[in-house]
Chain A
Amino acid sequence: MNFTKSSYGEMLLNNRILAIIFLFLVTVGMSYGAKNLYFDNDYRAFFGKTNPQLEAFERLQKTYTKIDNVQFAVEPDPGSDASSVQILAAIEELTELAWQIPYSLRVDSISNYQHTEVDEDDLLVEDLYGYAEELTEQELKDIRAIITTEPSIIGRIHDPAHRSTAVTATVQLPGKDPMEVVEVVEAARVLKETIERNHEVTLRLGGIALFNNAFLEASENDMMTLMPAMYIVILIVTYLLIRSIYATAVVVLIIVPSITVAMGFGGWIGVGLTPPSASAPTVITTLAVADSIHFLVTMFQRMNAGHSQRDSIIYSLSVNGKPIFLTSITTAVGFLSLNFSDSPPFHDLGNITAAGVMAAWLFSIMLLPILMSFVTVKPKETLGALNKCMAIIGEFISSKYKAVLLVSMLVSVLITAAITRNEINDDFLKYFDEDITFRSDTDWISQNLTGLNQIQFDMQSKMPNGISEPQFLNKLETFSNWARNHEVVTNVQSITDVFKRLNKDLNGGDEQFYKIPESRELSAQYLLLYELSLPFGLDLNNQIDIDKSSTQVIVTIDDLTTNQIKAWIKEAETFLESELGMDAVAAGPTVMFSYIAERNIEGMLWGTLYAVLIISGIILIALKDVRLGLLSLVPNLLPAALAFGVWGLFVGQVNMAVAVVTGMALGVIVDDSVHFLTKYQLARKNEKLSAERAVVSAFSGVGTALLVTTIILVAGFAILAQSSFGLNSAMASLTAIALFMALVADLTILPALLILLDRKMNKSNAQENVVTA
């Protein structure tokens, strides 16, 4: 045997202990970084530091009080309603106890709503009610009248039809420790239990704190359920394929350190785990197993042909060394393209996975051969039938290449046409599955109490104390009324309601005065009087800035798609600009999520382009053939388009995660065409076969391996598609479809194109020969 080309394999097997020590040091050194990992459970993590919507929102949050909150919504028992004495009592106790929630700044409910009343020259500002059980019928009637009409209450903390009522605790997290959110949520859950025990009510929890916590729970959920499922699939498929328990165990020994090295790498570069980056281990498992499969299949094939185990290992290394390296590099490049995304969690996913893929490469070409050399395994013929099947398909395709091309083009055109049926919708609350309590609770709240989308407008008078100016207040009033006229708007929180109420109260309760005060001095002095009368925590700092030059109007909107919300925002901003001459821009989480997909797609267009260029460049260098390299673009780029088409046909709604799919999937997809084309080239050049025969040879040579690795990859991403986090599942579903499409394209369009191209070349060559003759 001549092993000149496989001297690496020889060298490796002769220095097993040294290699193992080296790998051990690398693994421990890298994995040690995992100590730096933490869960980043702040939805703001999804926005880059320079995201303009995030900047606008942060500015707003610094000017006014933050809107991070916990919402306790009361679900009355059937037959009772949210204004019953029992529920009023429950709300009263809950309001009192909610002040104990860690980091709470204020608590709002109907019980501590600051009701104003006037008795001659006395202005009384106090809680709407106290001691609910002792309220008289008349008092109850008065309370009900207020909670069904007061604009700052209805559609925000109380449903005018009494379907629900809520206590909202605003929290200001110091942001020093990711566990702060967990602390708040745990306190809220304990409080919920206490109230449910003391009163006959059911509480549902919503709000930003719960939203943030849901990220953490989704990540944990995924890690608990998806990873084990992934391992089971890998073990079953690998075993069915190679029928060796030892080899299957070795595959696991390759995957595990690949993951720990990758996660450790994430720790070293300071990643905070979010559901996308927490899914990296699942993705790495899927990708890492392919390298091992290629190596083991070749090794067993060689052993079946009668070679020794050691020779087969060395042979497999020499044959697979280059393609495994190439496919690992292209996969890593594809994942690195995620750095062009506007959303940092996808950078993390890309970087961790790229590191994992390269670690898997290292372990596959070093640890795997060494581990296989320690134990004697028996080869088993298992895939003979499949190999034969592949050869038959190859024959069929090469004989009917024109028809195959025609049909596949037709189908492709039809499917890709459906891409336009996709509508972008980043309804961020729907990122979570119905089986996460947060989702079902917020769904209920949005149906029975208030919309979940809050849009904040920073209304600036541009002069100190300018908010008392009647002209400015009238503009605010016009805008608030305009907003309230939209059916989708459930509540508008505007300081003008306070001014109107005070004006009426200080004019003896005369309804005629329920309007903006006539002079700036009146407004300013009313405000001073009112502020002096407010209790702890219920001040106006959440609505007015310190020099009283600006105020925020908060519009609450029903469940809408991203496009509808964007349209509404545009309409509102245009109204402010053209009708009122104000340049206030919308801000808040809803606004941020509404624009994230757009920004993500923009960034990923470049990312995908770079990935295509670099990956194509790698293929060109590897194949050393410009024509084949260009041809490979078709089966490499078409699958993503087809996947989006299929998605458009069957689902139709996409979120920001889809933007990253093309670049990411490309790195994985090219593996198939690289393997196929390498084999085709080999058949043409070394064995001097015709294009048709070379296609058949490629089919029988790598068809089975392609089918099996694709099955594993599709299974892996299909498992990830079960994630309870919408961004992960959308990304994984699309990738799984794209990978399947890639296999189909590589086994139909690619061979058909190869033959067609060959015919064309022959023809033009023949013509040239005629001319020169």
Chain B
Amino acid sequence: MKFMQIIIIALISCLFAANVYASDGRGLEIATELDVRDNGFGDTTSTMTMTLFDQYGNSTSRKIRNRTLEGTDEGDLSLVIFDTPADVKGTAFLSHTKRSGSDDQWLYLPALKRVKRIASSNQAGPFMGSEFAYEDISSQELEKYTYKYLRNEAYNGLDCFVVEYDPVDRKSGYSKQIVWIDTKEYRSHKIEFYDRKESLLKTLEYKGYSQYNDKFWRADVLEMENHQTGKRTVLEFDDWKFQTGLTAKDFNKKSLKKVR
């Protein structure tokens, strides 16, 4: 009797698990391949100009420097340093990406001369008032989504896989993302973000891919358009450098205060 019960419970939990991790094989394969192809970049630095546009076409820009260190057992470590606007100059944002659960985040406030930990599980809010949420630009760890292969489709003349990403985090602002990934180099070209009521919320387009160190592809321009509010944000990257010799020491709470 007991044996039977165990078997039934095991069977049920298998069904349940299958439901939770609803990735189909192909979708996960594509996402894994995308991840694998970027393995070994070590660390990168770049500068970024973020330009916000409202419905009128009014715009405003801010300048940011990015530093990223490839994670080993956990996710990537990243540091964002704000250069403009002047009143946030020197403010630095450190995040340790987690494969599961909320990322660890700290902000150094030069005006207060203190590091504050952002002890919040909210990662879906807008980043610096832009149309990008923190979850859109943080390191894309495989475990953060389940994947469904939808179809192959030409996009901008490239044959692409179209894959659905379903966020695992309950607090994500999205019900799903549809991602266009080219079949040759496994680069993301377009992402459609759907809000919790499954309406199209935003579209992100990657433009101007260049290859660094003969291996790693980075886009120069990321354009996010919000279809519901008509606002837009453009990220322009410059000055990509790979394997500059950054170490984990450059990405801890202590180093945050000394960041220049």
Chain A contacts to B: CB under 8 angstroms = 62-63, 65, 99-105, 119, 121-126, 172, 464-465, 468, 506, 519-526, 528-529, 531-541, 544-548
Contact = CB atoms under 8 A, between A and B. Distances in A.
A364 B172 CA distance: 68
B157 interface: no
Nearest to B197: A100
B185 to A, nearest CB: 31
18 contacts: A62-B56, A119-B119, A122-B117, A123-B119, A123-B120, A172-B228, A465-B86, A522-B111, A525-B107, A525-B110, A531-B126, A532-B134, A534-B122, A536-B173, A541-B126, A544-B129, A546-B54, A547-B60
Given A172-B228, A506-B112, A532-B93, A525 B88 contact: yes
Given A103-B228, A521-B110, A525-B111, A534 B87 contact: no
A574 to B, nearest CB: 29
A176 to B, nearest CB: 12
A65 B128 contact: no
Contacts of A544: 129
A528 B126 CA distance: 11
Interface of B: 52-56, 58-60, 82, 85-88, 91, 93, 105, 107, 109-112, 114-122, 124-129, 133-134, 171-173, 195-197, 199, 228-229, 231
Given A100-B196, A536-B133, A546 B52 contact: yes
A150 B55 CA distance: 32
B109 to A, nearest CB: 4
Given A100-B196, A546-B52, A539 B129 contact: yes
Contacts of B120: 123-126, 533
A546 B129 contact: yes
Given A125-B120, A538-B125, A547-B52, A524 B115 contact: no
Contacts of A548: 60, 85, 129
A524 B112 CA distance: 11
B122 A535 contact: yes
Contacts of A545: 54
Given A532-B93, A539-B126, A546-B58, 5 more contacts: A100-B197, A465-B86, A521-B88, A522-B111, A536-B171
B28 to A, nearest CB: 26
A544 B109 CA distance: 21
A124 B116 CA distance: 10
A535 B133 CA distance: 9
A636 to B, nearest CB: 50
Nearest to B114: A121
A535 B118 CA distance: 12
Contact of A102 (B52, B133, B171, B197): B197
Nearest to A101: B197
Contacts of A537: 173
A628 B182 CA distance: 88
Contacts of B199: 102-103
A239 to B, nearest CB: 57
A152 to B, nearest CB: 17
Contacts of B125: 531-536, 538-539
Interface centre among A172, A528, A534, A537, by most chain B C-beta atoms within 10 angstroms, is A528
B197 A99 contact: yes
A529 B82 CA distance: 12
A621 B58 CA distance: 59
Contacts of B112: 506, 522, 525
B124 to A, nearest CB: 4
A465 B55 CA distance: 19
Contacts of B129: 531, 539-541, 544, 546, 548
Contacts of A464: 60, 85
A302 B92 CA distance: 99
A125 B122 contact: yes
B171 A535 contact: yes
Closest 3 CB pairs of A and B: A536-B173, A547-B60, A536-B124
A537 B229 CA distance: 12
Given A103-B228, A121-B116, A125-B120, A519 B111 contact: yes
Contacts of B53: 546
Contacts of B229: 65, 105, 172, 541
A63 B127 CA distance: 18
Contacts of A524: 85, 87-88, 111
A468 B87 contact: yes
A464 B86 CA distance: 10
A62 B57 CA distance: 11
Interface centre among A100, A124, A519, A524, by most chain B C-beta atoms within 10 angstroms, is A524
A442 to B, nearest CB: 26
A534 B231 CA distance: 19
Interface centre among B82, B87, B119, by most chain A C-beta atoms within 10 angstroms, is B87
B193 to A, nearest CB: 11
B204 to A, nearest CB: 16
Contact of B121 (A65, A126, A520, A528): A126
Contacts of A119: 119
B87 A547 contact: no
A175 to B, nearest CB: 11
Contacts of A121: 114-117
Interface centre among A519, A522, A529, A544, by most chain B C-beta atoms within 10 angstroms, is A529
A123 B109 CA distance: 13
B67 to A, nearest CB: 18
A531 B132 CA distance: 12
A44 B197 CA distance: 27
A105 B196 CA distance: 10
A495 to B, nearest CB: 13
Contacts of A122: 116-117, 119
A540 B58 CA distance: 18
Given A126-B122, A541-B129, A532 B197 contact: no
B108 to A, nearest CB: 9
A535 B228 CA distance: 18
Contacts of B133: 536
A53 B108 CA distance: 44
B117 A546 contact: no
A623 to B, nearest CB: 58
Contacts of A465: 85-87
A469 B197 CA distance: 38
Nearest to A548: B129
A521 B116 CA distance: 16
A122 B102 CA distance: 15
Contacts of A124: 119-120
A99 B133 CA distance: 18
Contacts of A100: 196-197
Contacts of A540: 129
Interface centre among A100, A172, A536, by most chain B C-beta atoms within 10 angstroms, is A536
Contact of B196 (A99, A125, A468, A531): A99
Contacts of A534: 122, 125-126
Given A536-B125, A536-B173, A525 B91 contact: yes
